[in-house]
Structure 1
């Protein structure tokens, strides 16, 4: 079904959506989508940083005491 739409069909759908909802409504919707994507990326970065911090806390210094005094 969706394989046969093509570019003219997509343009027709875009025009119908624009007529039904209006330009202002669509632009505000796209702004909200952009904010959602930004929040998602920030959440992923925060989660990655948190995991890296947890791994850094788990690191144990195994240097012998005699070697620590030399540094």
Structure 2
């Protein structure tokens, strides 16, 4: 794991939740001067179509927020 700022988020990165499950950043949906909104989907299923077809969830971060990222 490494620590990044939310402004560094891009498609393909993985963010861990407190329970250890990883969420994939599947899209940078919106970016402003201070925030970044990404679409997250769980990679719990080994079948990509199972978690990408539901559209994932949108999560907005302040660009200065520190996040753990799987390497």
Name the TM-score, length of structure 1 as normaliser. 0.20
RCO (CA 8 Å, sep 6+): is it higher in 1 or 2? 2
Kindly indicate which of the two structures has a greater share of residues assigned to strand.
2
Q: Which has the larger Rg? A: 1
TM-score normalised by length of structure 2: 0.20
Which one has a larger percent helix, Structure 1 or Structure 2?
1
